């Protein structure tokens, strides 16, 4: 569980790759593993399989240990056991990643109390948690913010039995679901997020005995009078649709063909339909997709939206691909207010991108030129890897910890496909 080893890497060197033939297996979803780890606070013994070992999940395991849980990680399975001995999430861990906010819901669902740090924003936006707090206020919780910590105490009974989010928020929805485990009886949530990772958490909570049904963006949540089931919960993390999408983009540029395995095609409908629009040929099977590169790719227009719309987490990867498409593409980023930082880095490599507010206009160029660049956030770093693979000359991506937060063994996976990428320390 040594995240220090991953943090010791400072850069990734990426050499041009002419073509990729072969197959790659996608890891479990980071953004599902994180709420599931928070949910492991709700019961005595949990085993998660298809668990992705990467910076954010290693940080989350450290937090669970700090809260009193015993952790046993072997390969891509992790066992979490024991009782909670503290409800305070340590600042030095929670400030490292946004997903730590999920321990607010996990602790409240398990104990009715929580002390978590105000999660820092990050480069893609201010990342407010007003909706998380508005939900807790509606329940009648005591909430105080003291020296950077949010201290919350739930009432014995909720003041309301329904709540409507003003904004569709993934971790806001997940925190509400985790918290509601605390109260017996029925609760209705409206305007919820429906990302596959939210559904994966719902499947886990059902194994604890919670009855959950939903209609559109409304959820009916019911905890039976005798509370949660006891005993071990075994759960397999869903495939990471964003890692899968990232490899599909690489296949669109270099695949001859590239087979991306262990994915859930239904989670990738918006991404697949946009890939078809750029002109690539895809063979979709039950749990894999084969992608054949297309030259030149066609320029397109895309807008990010909450699931099942086009995922904001795939926007940067598409921008790298569209920077060498034929024609002018337009990307509208509707979710985060500052999620175009990769555009500046791609421009260093010769991309022709103009940013106007939440709109990026990408004029396709013949080729990109390798250069030293900085990763600014997780998916931006993925876009720079993609750009480096198709550029002429070598690219060095600094601040590479951003990439290692959300992609498991990305260097090994790319090199097994015949690419040449190397993590470096000095």
Q: Which residues are near ligand EPZ by CB under 6 A?
A: 31, 34, 98-99, 125, 127-132, 167, 169-172, 193, 312-313, 335-336, 378-379, 406
Q: Which is nearer to ligand EPZ, 34 or 89 (CB)?
A: 34
Distance of CA 338 to the CA centre of its chain: 17
Q: Quick one: 99 or 370, whose CB is closer to ligand EPZ?
A: 99
Q: Cα-flanking dihedrals φ and ψ of residue 409, to 5°?
A: 50, 40
Least CB distance to ligand EPZ at residue 173 (A): 8
Decide if 340 contacts 332 (C-beta within 8 A). no
Q: Determine the number of helices (DSSP H) and then strands (DSSP E) in the chain.
A: 15, 23
Instruction: Supply the minimum distance, in Å, between the C-beta of residue 243 and ligand EPZ.
Output: 10
Name the minimum Å distance from CB 136 to ligand EPZ. 11
- Helix (H) or strand (E) holding 398, with range, is strand 395-398
Smallest gap from Cβ 30 to ligand EPZ, in A, equals 6
For the question of residue 419 being annotated catalytic, the response is no
Cβ closer to ligand EPZ: 137 or 420? 137
Q: What is the layout of strands, in order, in the sheet containing 395-398?
A: 372-374, 395-398, 11-14, 421-424
| Residue among 119 and 364 whose Cβ is closer to ligand EPZ | 119
User: Would residue 191 be called left, alpha or beta, if left means φ above 0 and alpha means ψ between -120 and 50 degrees?
Assistant: left
Residue partners of 87: CB distance under 8 A and separation at least 6: 67, 107, 111, 113, 114, 115
Helix (H, G, I), strand (E, B) or coil at 78: strand
Q: What is the dihedral of CA 198, 203, 205, 208, to 10 degrees?
A: -170
- Taking residue 241's Cβ as centre, other Cβ atoms within 10 Å add up to 27
> What's the closest the beta carbon of residue 296 comes to ligand EPZ, in angstroms?
29
Beta carbon nearer to ligand EPZ, 120 or 296: 120
Distances (CA, A) of 399 to 30, 96, 380: 20, 14, 11
Smallest separation, CB 129 to ligand EPZ (Å):
5
Q: At what angle do helices 315-322 and 378-390 cross, to 10 degrees?
A: 20
Give yes or no for a contact between 9 and 375, defined as CB atoms under 8 angstroms apart: no
Q: Which is nearer to ligand EPZ, 256 or 266 (CB)?
A: 266
Say which of 6, 73, 122, 330 is annotated catalytic. 122
Positions marked catalytic = 122
């Amino acid at each position: 569980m040594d995240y220090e080893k991953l943090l010791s890497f400072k850069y990734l060197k990426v050499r041009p790759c002419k073509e990729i033939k072969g197959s790659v297996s996608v890891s479990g979803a980071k953004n599902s593993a994180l709420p599931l780890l928070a949910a492991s606070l709700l019961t005595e013994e949990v085993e998660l399989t298809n668990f992705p070992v990467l910076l954010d999940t290693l940080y989350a395991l450290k937090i669970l240990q700090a809260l009193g849980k015993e952790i046993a990680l072997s390969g891509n399975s992790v066992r979490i056991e024991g009782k909670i001995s503290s409800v305070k999430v340590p600042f030095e861990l929670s400030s490292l990643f946004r997903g730590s906010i999920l321990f607010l819901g996990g602790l409240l669902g398990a104990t009715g109390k929580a002390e978590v740090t105000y999660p820092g924003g990050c480069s893609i936006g201010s990342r407010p948690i007003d909706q998380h707090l508005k939900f807790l206020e509606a329940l009648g919780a005591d909430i105080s913010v003291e020296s950077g910590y949010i201290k919350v105490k739930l009432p014995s009974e909720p003041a309301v039995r329904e709540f409507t989010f003003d904004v569709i928020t993934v971790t806001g929805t997940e925190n509400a679901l985790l918290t509601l485990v605390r109260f017996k009886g029925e609760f209705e949530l409206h305007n919820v997020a429906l990302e596959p990772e939210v559904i994966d958490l719902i499947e886990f909570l059902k194994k604890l005995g919670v009855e959950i049904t939903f209609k559109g963006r409304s959820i009916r949540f019911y905890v039976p009078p005798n509370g949660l089931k006891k005993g071990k919960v075994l759960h397999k993390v869903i495939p990471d649709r964003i890692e899968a999408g990232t490899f599909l983009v690489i296949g669109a540029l270099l695949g001859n063909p590239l087979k991306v395995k262990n994915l859930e095609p239904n989670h990738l409908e918006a991404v697949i339909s946009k890939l078809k629009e750029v002109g690539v040929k895809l063979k979709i099977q039950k749990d894999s997709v084969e992608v054949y590169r297309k030259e030149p790719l066609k320029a397109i227009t895309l807008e990010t939206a909450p699931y099942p719309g086009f995922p904001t987490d795939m926007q940067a990867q598409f921008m790298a691909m569209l920077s060498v498409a034929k024609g002018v593409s337009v990307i509208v980023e509707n979710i985060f207010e500052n999620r175009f930082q990769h555009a500046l880095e791609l421009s260093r490599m010769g991309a022709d991108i103009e940013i106007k507010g939440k709109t990026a206009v990408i004029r396709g160029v013949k080729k990109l030129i390798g250069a030293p660049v900085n990763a600014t956030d997780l998916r931006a770093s993925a876009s720079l890897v993609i750009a480096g693979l198709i550029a002429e000359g070598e690219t060095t991506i600094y601040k590479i910890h951003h990439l290692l937060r959300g992609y498991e063994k990305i260097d090994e996976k790319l090199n097994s496909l015949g690419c040449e990428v190397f993590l470096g320390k000095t």
